[in-house]
Amino acid sequence: MSIKKASSALISVFHKDGLEPIIKKFQELGITIYSTGGTEKFIKELGVDVVPVEDVTSYPSILGGRVKTLHPKVFGGILNRQDNESDVAQLEEFEIPQLDIVIVDLYPFEKTVASGASEQDIIEKIDIGGISLIRAAAKNFKDVLCVSSMEDYSDFLNVISEGKGSTSLEDRKRFAAKSFNVSSHYDTAIFNYFNKNHDLAALKISETDGKVLRYGENPHQKGFFFGDFEAMFDKLHGKELSYNNLLDVDAAVNLMLEFKNDDPTFAILKHNNACGLAQRNTLHQAYVDALAGDPVSAFGGVLISNKEVDKATAEEIHKLFCEVVIAPSYADDALEILKGKKNRIILVQNEVEMPEMTVRTCLNGVLLQEKDHRTDTLEDLQYVTDTKPSEQDLEDLIFASKLCKHTKSNTIVLAKNKQLCASGTGQTSRVDALNQAIHKAKSFNFDLKGAVMASDAFFPFPDCVEIANKSGISSVIQPGGSIKDQLSIDYCNENNVSMVMTGTRHFKH
């Protein structure tokens, strides 16, 4: 039968918030409750009758609570097939009570890991009995309904109330799916804890907090986001974020992490690349100069700041149509101004731990790699030319290098006085990338005399430094490593251009 009338339930949970109405409903419906430990005590304190599991198994809770429900009389009550005469006969023979409902959750393993607890405390939060009960009850959904999370208490209460103690096969199967979602996620978290150094070449990803997006990159594609967006951002205003918004927000956040503790810095991104970036004494000026980098591309872009957005900056931003604004905080009067456009998405970025690995699909599989956490610093630089960069050059070289790292390869970044003049992005030739950057900088009236150039990979020929020099660029930063490095060094020496090498390539494909 697809409709089953419940006469008994096993309840053994860690989280008891929201459980009371269910217990009272069971009492009202005449459903016999079996329970253990703290849950049993909780039910008794509500004045509701409860049968201790020990009375069924004739065994007490042992090993400090590690073994309570792991017993044939418990699992037999869950796993029996009620349409199987042999199963039903064995229940009667061994005096095993039929269990129609199982409400069990799991020890908070992930929260314990996140708390920085000791390894022993973490190991003790690996649930054995709970996970076994969930799997057994969910497997036998034809006869048993399994509730595996406090988040499902309300849903279950509605089901059991509307059915007056009866549940449908559809509901039982739906709760089984929820239960296997819980159990598989739990096992993944445990495995990843033990394999945090990736000694085993195995990939297990589990995200249970999924959100359906309006669509993917294009309207004809489905799109989803899996992750805890609310932990990372407080959304203060605006429409729902799209798939493309999220990609740009990700690029913006990762770029601004390079400037997190620096002077006021503002970036404008479009299609995952910065079209404007500047660092100044005030955020207002940083925004104005970032916008000057490419006021055309900035239309419909994603804006991000490393400092609180003040009123003066908000007034300038408000003149621009932009999709998203991200900052650590906003002055009250600034926020009111920015809210003047109803669809503008306003985000406060919170401090959260970012993933250590990047994952992307590839062919019929997946590529996994460590994030590029290396940032070029003054200490990394090798001074390879006779002409040495000035103090201002060095500041601009590091500034440009940070941006270059977060721009699509092949890329060239041109900067001056801690302002992005232009970049050439995603080109198949580094010469094309440089020419694109020079053309763009000149189209926005930048004087490249004294500017610096950053490249995400080495120069196999001196053509790029020659083109740069003839455009007025005076200093270059690049990884080095080509067997023909000396050709570029020689050109620089002959033309009084300074060049430094970092020894680190920053491809971003």
User: Is residue 371 flagged as an active site residue?
Assistant: no
Q: What is the largest CA-CA distance in the chain?
A: 98
Half-sphere exposure of 28 (CA within 13 A, CB side): 11
339: DSSP letter:
T
* Nearest alpha carbon to residue 55 among 76, 74, 75: 74
CA dist list (Å): 253 to 418, 433, 491: 19, 24, 38
CB of 15 closer than 8 Å to CB of 130: no
Of the residues 125, 139, 204, 235, only one is catalytic, namely 139
Could you tell me if 475 and 499 are in contact, meaning their C-beta atoms sit under 8 angstroms apart? yes
Find residue 62's DSSP bridge partners: 67
Any idea which residue has 């620096």 for tokens? 262
- Single out the catalytic residue among 173, 237, 271, 442: 271
Would you say 347 and 234 are in contact if contact means Cβ atoms under 8 Å apart? Answer: yes
Distance CA 371, CA 378 (A): 21
DSSP state of 202: -
Look-up: residue for tokens 């394999």?
Answer: 195
Bridge partners (DSSP) of residue 137 are: none
Active site residue 71: no
Both tokens assigned to 2:
């697809």
At residue 411, what is the residue type?
A: T
Distance of CA 394 to the CA centre of its chain: 34
What are the tokens at 456? Answer: 């995400």
Per-residue burial over 25-43, b = 16 or more CB atoms within 10 Å of its CB, e = otherwise: bbbebebbbbbbbebbebb
Question: Is the Cβ–Cβ distance between 451 and 442 less than 8 Å?
Answer: no
User: Count of CB atoms within 10 A of residue 367's CB?
Assistant: 11
d(CA 279, CA 289): 8
d(CA 198, CA 191): 10
Tokens standing for residue 166: 């009866």
Helix axes 72-79, 129-139, angle to 10 degrees: 30
* Look-up of token digits 């409400």: 103
The CB density around residue 445, as the number of other CB atoms within 10 Å, is: 7
Active site residues: 139, 271
